[in-house]
Amino acid sequence: MDVQMVRPLLPVLLFACFVSGREVCYDKIGCFSDDKPWSGTVERLISRLPWSPEEIGVRFLLRTRENPVDFQVVLAFNESTLVSSNFKESRKSRFVIHGFMSDGEAGWVTDMCAAILSVEDVNCFCVDWSNGAHTFYSQAANNVRVVGAVIAYFIEALVNTTGYSPSNVYLIGHSLGAQAAGQAGRRTPGLSRITGLSPAGPYFQGTPPEVRLSITDAKLVDVIHTDASSIIYNLGWRYKIILKWRSLLSLFQDSQVSIHGKQCDTTQDQIYGGYILENNKYVKYMDMDVFLGEIDTVIFTFQANMPELPSPLDSGCIFIQLGQNGKLVQEVPILLAAKENNVFLLKELLEHGAWSRYQTGAVGETPLHVAVQHNNVEAAQILLEKAPDLINQPMTSQLHLGQTALHIATVNENMNLVQMLIDKGADVASPRATGTFFALSPENLFYFGEHVLTFAACVGNLDIAKLLLDHGADLRAQDCWGNTILHILVLQPNTAVCCQVLDFLLSQEDTSQEPPLDQITNKQGLTPLKLAAAEGNVTMFQHLVQKKRKVHSTFGPVTSMLYDLSEIDSLEKEPSVLELIATSKKSKARKILNFPPVKSLLKRKWQRSGRPYFWLMSVVYVLYMACVSMCCVYRPIKHRELPPSNTTDPQDITLYVQKTFQESYLTPEDRVRMCGEIVSVIGAVLLFLLEISCVFSAGIKYYLSFVLWAEPFHIVRLSFSSMILVILVLRLTSTKGEEVLMSIALVLGWCYVMYFARGFKMFGPFTIIIQKMAASDLLTFCWLMAVVVIGYSTALFIVFQTVDQSKWGAFYPYTQSLISTFQLFLNIIDGPANYDVDVPLMYSFTYASFCVIAFLLMFNLLIAVMGDTQSSMAKKKTLWSAQITSLTLTMEQKLPKRLWLNSNSFEHDLEGKRYFGVEEGKWPPLSGFDGSDSSDESDEELDEGEYLSVGSG
């Protein structure tokens, strides 16, 4: 390396020497210092002392032709392990040494030993130093000194104890293992040969011969560039060569690049056509044969021409960077200096151009990002002075895409850094952190939005938020989900702090802009208040509601409050708060039903209009089902006409058959039944159209994937109405089979009465429990029952397959076996038995195990699971409250609005908004003086008569 190249880096070397000068000594192998050239140089910036032999754990794993697979462990400091092994002095010895992040028990090391033993009878030692190789690279690079010393001591022990000659020893090392072989050879005069397989470059290239593998370390030293796989896929310790053209240059065909060094050594690589069209540069990672510090010429071959770049090359033409693709911050000096707030080293690296100030880390972070992340004000100030364009440079990785230094300083709540960045010109409005780390996703642990201002609001720092607003931060900015800063605050867990921040932000709002900040909707059409209701954020919901309420009058301890219904009432904009609560899957959302004005509003709606209409519909439906039942009971049938031969099948007991359409409506009784059938068909059509409207309002995809399964009554209603219409078609076409559909339709129709039972406190909670059990416990039990029935019915069929079926016919044929086993499972019939004949032996064992599994195990398990479900559902009393809310909203959607106007007690403010009056008292209600504790019921349950607490309009 030229003196002129070293001179600018002398301050860096002086700093590195400042932390050197230590020494460690180990028994039998000597002392090791971190003085130059082992540290304090450009090539070895980080000072490390090697570990002890015990910490590294150097072992010699011997394989010979006597034991080619199972190795024998030989220790350098334990002579007995060598004596008891298969080592023979008459053989030559091969030492195979692994490299960084590898080990000597598996992989290429054992493969090479096997290949060596296949061609020559030798002692093959796999040198294992995996403990010292699996650490930071800087430490592993220094550990090779001890590894080489232990290998040299072991060879010396062979010479002293057995008279072994060093000329019979051949060392083979890969990566750091090649450098360890050089250390061993330097301590062992007369060593036969050392082969370095892709010797490690970092910490060794450009160092004196006593540090790196050298031609003087053995009689023959050769280096081979291998195709061994990288430490991490497509990554490795390589040199990064960036060749950049001064002017635009299009490369349409493949060309060769030849890189020449001063020592007349060269390396060549293929540049593929079109690879440099985007940024006009070619990047290649390679293990260079050329000494990078002495490159003087780069020649390209374009077709027949060989243009030569200017010589000597400057930074405008070629950038040479030592590092690793996918590098960590610890491995890049400028990032390390920024992390450790090393102002002296940072200045030297920036002023002398030793490292690019635009160099990024593993996640696309610049030195400024690193300095700000670790709250290093001094380092950040130096970077802003020397590289001011870094101030708004975002991270580039997919994980942290778009994050700037100002984002980081804001989250760290470092007011000094935030102030300094803004003073230096940091953009407070435009940067957006859009990486996956900041996305609104269940997989992420937080969500702060994308803008710097939302970061400040979420951490609750009002001073930083005020500073950002004063310098132009947009209070109305929205992220990619359409969420404003108020939406994002609603989604934060620290609700108390967020309420204070919300008050501050609303005080900073420009009231001349429309719509108001708290009325801006996101892409889901939700305002902050509606989002709080949907998420079940009770604290934020109450806070937002109370900010809009007004005092109407006060009398003693009672205050009459007026609540704005513009976002709450279902008669207003959709989706309303009531609708969001009714459809929310989160249990916290249902707690809002117990707070004003939702509590009083729902009570008034249910008492004035919801309950009367619902009860009326219940009565109408019961009468309708009675009509359908009577029409089915008195359906048109006639006596069956016997065949001319007057003979019938003895198993056929049919006496009546269905009349044709022409015969069905002749008598006055038929005409009365026809009126009932017309009512039945009209009712079925209305139910069918009602379900079709649900399909279109929810969307076919959402209806089929969610609505249909979340609410089983939709399936019942759709199936019942469809069957009635199919029965109509069968009647008009005189087609047989209507009795099958009638029986199923009657079961479904009467089961649908449970839908109306939810409007009554006595029956409503039970419908929820039945629905839950049917959808979970019973469905699981049916699957298990099907498996058990199929298995045992097949087994019993096999058992009785060879016997006289007239004596044992319960399990033959197979269909009968399925039916009998199902009846046995449900305990409908007793176990079939015929004591007049011999019973197959396997029947007793099969039937006994069936009784244990079906009766004792599965039914008791079903009872226990259902009991647990009933117990857990009984504690969720707000479920019925949400059900009543859903019923009220459903009727509001189906009935004309004029029928609901008188049911809502509200007042018109001067602004023309609808307000709902609620009386709130400072004292407990009079009902609390009866000595009973009814707080749970009053807070959780919503009685049909006392559905919610008292409120007035």
Enclosing domain of residue 381: 335-519
19-23, 219-223, 875-879, 909-913: which has the highest mean pLDDT? 219-223
Q: Helix 538-548 vs helix 528-535: angle between axes, to the nearest 10 degrees? A: 150
CA dihedral 717, 718, 724, 728 (to 10 degrees): 150
Report the pLDDT value the prediction gives residue 242, as an integer from 0 to 100. Answer: 53
Within 8 A by CB and 6+ apart from 409, the residues are 372, 417, 418, 421
User: Of 140-154, 187-201, 667-681, 853-867, which gets the smallest average pLDDT?
Assistant: 853-867
3-state secondary structure 467-526: HHHHCCCCCCCCCCCCCCHHHHHHCCCCHHHHHHHHHHHHHCCCCCCCCCHHHCCCCCCC
Measured distance CA(714)–CA(698) in Å, rounded: 13
The DSSP line for 260-287 is: EETTS-EEEEEEPTTTTTTTSEEEEEE-
**CA angle (161 as vertex; 159, 162 as ends), nearest 5:** 70
Residue 17 has pLDDT above 70, yes or no: no
Higher-pLDDT residue of 198 and 406 is: 406
What pLDDT is recorded for position 82?
92
Three-state secondary structure string covering 674-705 = HHHHHHHHHHHHHHHHHHHHHHHHHCHHHHHH
Q: CB under 8 Å to 199, separation ≥6 — which residues?
A: 173, 175, 178, 179, 212, 213, 223
Containing 322, the helix (H) or strand (E) segment is strand 318-324
DSSP string, 873-922: HHH-THHHHHHHHHHHHHHHHHS-GGGTGGG--EEE-TTS-EEEEEEEES
Query: What is the mean predicted confidence (pLDDT) over 156-171?
Result: 91
**What average pLDDT does this structure show over 840-844?**
81
8 A C-beta contact, residue 189 and residue 216: no
> Which of 150-164, 646-660, 937-951 reaches the highest mean pLDDT?
150-164
Q: What is the pLDDT of residue 907?
A: 53
Average pLDDT (82-109) is: 92
Predicted local distance difference test score (pLDDT) of residue 899: 59
Range name among 85-99, 612-626, 850-864 with the lowest pLDDT average: 850-864
- Strand-pair partners of 705: none
Q: Which residue has the tokens 């000595």?
A: 931
CA distance 182 to 194: 7
The pLDDT value given to residue 621: 92
Could you read off the pLDDT of 688-744 as tens digits, one per residue? 998 888 888 777 877 777 777 667 778 888 899 999 999 999 999 988 888 899 999
Averaged pLDDT for residues 112-121: 91
DSSP state of 126: E
Nearest to 607 by CA among 917, 953, 897, 948: 948
Q: Which of 182-196, 272-286, 359-373 has the lowest mean pLDDT?
A: 272-286
* 211 and 250 part of one domain: no
Residue 821 lies in a domain: no
Under 8 Å between Cβ of 770 and 754? yes
Mean local confidence (pLDDT), 594-607: 78
HSE-up of residue 662 (Cα within 13 Å, Cβ side): 0
If pLDDT is split at 50, 70 and 90, which confidence band does 299 have? low
Report residue 549 as tokens: 């309420």
Q: Note the pLDDT of residue 458.
A: 93
> Residue 292's pLDDT is what?
45
Phi, psi angles (nearest 5°) of residue 193: -160, 150
Specify which residues 62 forms β-bridges with. 72, 125
Which SS3 state, helix, strand or coil, does residue 90 take? coil
In tens, the pLDDT along 480-528 reads 999 999 999 999 988 889 999 999 999 898 888 888 898 899 998 899 9
Comparing 162 with 245, which gets the higher pLDDT? 162
Regarding whether 249 and 214 lie in a shared domain, the answer is no
Q: CB of 326 within 8 A of CB of 262?
A: no
Which pLDDT score is estimated for 695? 83
Condensed to tens digits (0 to 9), the pLDDT of residues 524-551 reads: 889 999 998 888 888 898 888 888 887 7
**Amino acid (1-letter code) at residue 664:** S
Instruction: Look at residue 14 and tell me if it is in a domain.
Output: yes
CATH number of the structural domain spanning residue 61: 3.40.50.1820
Per-residue pLDDT tens over the stretch 256-288? 555 555 554 455 554 444 334 334 445 444 444
Cβ–Cβ under 8 Å, residues 441 and 486: no
**Statement to judge: residues 455 and 497 lie in one domain:** yes
Same domain, 22 and 159: yes
Cα distances from 613 to residues 299, 601, 602, 850, in angstroms, run: 90, 17, 15, 52
In this predicted structure, what is the pLDDT of residue 266? 52
Separation between Cα atoms, residue 823 and residue 819, nearest integer Å: 6
Half-sphere exposure of 354 (CA within 13 A, CB side): 25
Q: Which has more pLDDT, 797 or 806?
A: 797
- Is the pTM higher than 0.75? The answer reads no
The answer on 259 and 218 residing in a single domain is no
pLDDT (0 to 100) of residue 908:
56
How far is C-alpha 296 from the chain's CA centre? 51
Instruction: Give the 3-state secondary structure of residue 255.
Output: strand
Answer whether 594's CB lies under 8 Å from 546's CB.
no
Confidence of residue 647 (pLDDT cuts 50, 70, 90): low
- Give percent above pLDDT 70 in the chain: 73
Residue 630: inside a domain: yes
854 assigned to some structural domain:
no
- Both 511 and 627 in one domain: the answer is no
What pLDDT score does 289 carry? 43
Predicted confidence band of residue 179 (pLDDT cuts 50, 70, 90)? very high
316 and 339 belong to one structural domain = no
Cα separation values, 584 from 596, 610, 879, Å: 19, 21, 11
Res. 938: pLDDT tops 80:
no
pLDDT over 50 at 204, yes or no: yes
With respect to residue 482, please indicate whether it lies within any of the assigned structural domains.
yes
Instruction: State in Å, rounded, how far the first CA of the chain is from the last one.
Output: 91
Q: How confident is the model over 423-451, as pLDDT tens digits?
A: 999 999 999 999 988 988 888 888 999 99
Within a domain: 802? no
Give the pLDDT confidence score for residue 122 in this predicted structure.
95
Residues 317 and 368 occupy one common structural domain: no
Q: Can you give the pLDDT at residue 300?
A: 52
- Give pLDDT, residue 842: 84
Distance, in Å, from the CA atom of 110 to the CA atom of 105, rounded to the nearest integer, reads 7
Share of the chain above pLDDT 90, in %: 30
Q: Say if strands 122-128 and 92-97 run parallel, antiparallel, or are unpaired.
A: parallel
Average pLDDT over residues 389-403: 90
- Whether residues 645 and 706 share a domain: the answer is yes
Burial class (CB in 10 A: 0-12, 13-18, 19+), 6: middle
Angle made by CA atoms 131, 136, 142, in degrees to the nearest 5: 75
State mean pLDDT over 626-630.
93
Q: Which residue has the higher pLDDT, 111 or 867?
A: 111
CA distances from 708 to 602, 700, 701 (A): 26, 10, 10
Query: Which residues make Cβ contacts (< 8 Å) with residue 794, sequence separation at least 6?
Result: 814, 817
Identify the CATH number of the domain in which residue 379 sits: 1.25.40.20
pLDDT average, residue stretch 747-762: 80
Burial class (CB in 10 A: 0-12, 13-18, 19+), 380: buried
pLDDT in tens, 458-473: 999 999 999 999 998 9
Flag the least confident range among 60-64, 170-174, 190-194, 917-921: 917-921
679 vs 340, higher pLDDT = 679
* Among 723, 744, 763, residue at a domain's last position: 763
Ramachandran bin of 28, using left for φ above 0, alpha for ψ from -120 to 50, beta for the remaining angles? left
- Examine residue 914 and state whether it is found in any structural domain, yes or no: no
Give the pLDDT score at 416. Answer: 92
Q: Name the domain boundary from 746, 763, 780.
A: 763
Count structural domains, the chain: 4
Q: Which residues pair with 242 in a beta bridge?
A: 283, 319
Mean pLDDT of 883-907: 61
Q: What's 235's DSSP letter?
A: -
Across all residues in the chain, what is the average pLDDT?
77
Does residue 404 sit in the same domain as residue 470? Answer: yes
Q: Which CATH number goes with the domain that contains 305?
A: 2.60.60
**What band does 211 get if pLDDT is binned at 50, 70 and 90?**
very high
Q: What pLDDT does 630 receive? A: 93
CA dist 38 and 142 (Å) reads 8
Band (2; pLDDT cuts 50, 70, 90):
very low
Task: Tell me: do 246 and 218 sit in the same domain.
Answer: no
Average pLDDT for residues 40-64, to the nearest whole number? 90
pLDDT for position 952: 30
Is it the case that residue 835 has pLDDT exceeding 70? no
Q: What is the pLDDT of residue 753?
A: 85
- Structural domain ending residue among the three candidates 519, 552, 582: 519
953 in helix, strand or coil?
A: coil
The answer to whether residue 229 is domain-embedded is: no
Query: What confidence tier does 291 reach under pLDDT thresholds 50, 70, 90?
Result: very low
Q: Lowest-pLDDT range, 10-14, 17-21, 155-159?
A: 10-14
934: confidence class by pLDDT, cuts 50, 70, 90: very low
* Residue 850: φ, ψ to 5°: -65, -40
Same domain membership, residue 255 and residue 216: no
Q: What are phi and psi of 905, to 5 degrees?
A: -90, 110
Average pLDDT on 585-602 reads 77
Q: Do the beta carbons of residue 403 and residue 433 sit within 8 Å? A: yes
